[in-house]
Structure 1
Amino acid sequence: MFSLNYEIDDVFKINEKEYKANGNFDNILRIIDMLQESRLTKAYKYLLGLKMFFGDKTDLVALEPLSQEEVFHEVYHNYVEKQEEAIEYDLQGNPIEENEGNKKQDYSLKHDAPYIYVSFVQAYKIDLIEEQGKLHWFKFQALLEGLPEDTKFRQVISYRTWKPSKGDSPKHKEQMRKLQKLYRLPGTENEIADDEEEVD
């Protein structure tokens, strides 16, 4: 977990032995992508995940399959799922926000990669391609959450989460619905705001 009090520690003690994991943001993103690959069996994902975290030559691959699963989940949980209790994350590592009793995904780390990239350049002058292998996952997450409202990524999220208000003009509503349709995430075709959802 990200902390200003201590250095980021990627060392895990497994079976009384210490192992250093690769906690760079690009590696974590590749692991998240790998977990979504339907052609891979769960057992192979855990094996591959251990190699991605600890290197191809790690002796952890010699563990029994059940132990590999347990170790992988412990490490993955530390990076992707170990957050504040109030925040829930989907299988791709994206935050899920509560919306009138329904869980709604506002962004995708994979689908929104271009917007995230340009926003990091815009706000921080950070080129994420050049930072591969250097920028830690925890730092990446903190910077992502702290992006200013005028960045492309934040603007896209504002389009997706927009809901009509009684004071909105028909022209404004039409424009916002077009933007919602343009920037909607795959699999959210029916999540376009309509007038029945108006709030005071």
Structure 2
Amino acid sequence: MFSLYYKLNDVYEIDGVEYPVNASFDNILKLIDMTRDKTLATNYRVVLGIKMLFGKDTDLIQAYPFQHLNDIFLDVFKIYVNQGKEPEIKKDLAGKPLPPEFQKDKESSYSLKYDAEYIYSSFMQAYGIDLLEEQGKLHWFKFQALLAGLPEDTKFRQVVSIRLWKKPSKSDNEESQMRELQEVYKLPDEESEVEE
């Protein structure tokens, strides 16, 4: 979890041994993308995820059974991607979890994958940070904080505002203009199914 009073300590302890975690923003982005790839078998995703987080030569793959690796992967994923928060499970009136198709309550307003150009140019504009030069260096938590703090005059924030726009009045001209812009910046269907 991002904190201003704790140093970033990217290690994960397993049975008393600390393993360094690659928490650079580009690695976590690749990890998120990999977990969404439905063409990969679940067990392959877990093994690949462990290698992405702990290094391709990690001894964890041989040292632990698959279920333990799966638990490690899910825990580290929760720590970094969800910043330690459990995903919210929507429940019905009786307190039972709703089926997955009812869990989605809103369309995502941005995609780290499809909006990469807007994010890149906005980081350059606002912070003078070249994200391509920061690969392997800029921490995932710092990246998220900077992304959340992008000013309104950046392309990324403008595109997100267009996607979130709702008709405020009976202005037909403004509405048709915004509907056209929403169509231009609409995310592909596969991406809008997943919350960021």
Alignment partner, residue 77 of structure 1: 78
User: Root-mean-square deviation (CA), in Å?
Assistant: 1.9
**Deviation readout 1:100-124 (Å, 9 max, x if unpaired):** x932211110011111000000100
Give 1:86 shift: 9.6
In 1, Cα distance between the equivalents of 2:127 and 2:110?
Answer: 20
1:117 match: secondary structure: helix
Segments of 5+ residues of structure 1 without an aligned counterpart are: 89-100, 189-200
Q: Summarize the alignment of residues 22-171 of structure 1 with structure 2, pairs less than 5 Å apart.
A: 22-62=22-62, 63-82=64-83, 102-166=105-169, 169-171=171-173
Give the direction of change, closer, same or farther, for the CA distance of 1:49–1:85 in structure 2 (3 Å limit): closer
The answer to which structure has the higher strand fraction is 1
In 2, Cα distance between the equivalents of 1:86 and 1:14?
Answer: 23
Give the direction of change, closer, same or farther, for the CA distance of 1:164–1:130 in structure 2 (3 Å limit): same
Give the AA of the match of 2:174.
H
Segments of 5+ residues of structure 2 without an aligned counterpart are: 90-103, 191-196
State the identity %: 53
Give 1:34 shift: 1.1
In 2, Cα distance between the equivalents of 1:83 and 1:122?
Answer: 31
Give 1:37 shift: 1.7
Give the AA of the match of 1:13.
E
* TM-score calculated relative to the size of structure 1: 0.83
In 2, Cα distance between the equivalents of 1:133 and 1:152?
Answer: 25
Give 1:36 shift: 1.6
In 2, Cα distance between the equivalents of 1:48 and 1:102?
Answer: 30
2:106 match: secondary structure: strand
In 2, Cα distance between the equivalents of 1:83 and 1:149?
Answer: 28
Give the AA of the match of 1:153.
F
Give the AA of the match of 1:125.
G
Q: Greater RCO between the two (CA within 8 Å, min separation 6)?
A: 2
In 2, Cα distance between the equivalents of 1:16 and 1:6?
Answer: 21
**Deviation readout 1:112-165 (Å, 9 max, x if unpaired):** 111100000010010100100100000000000000011000000110010111
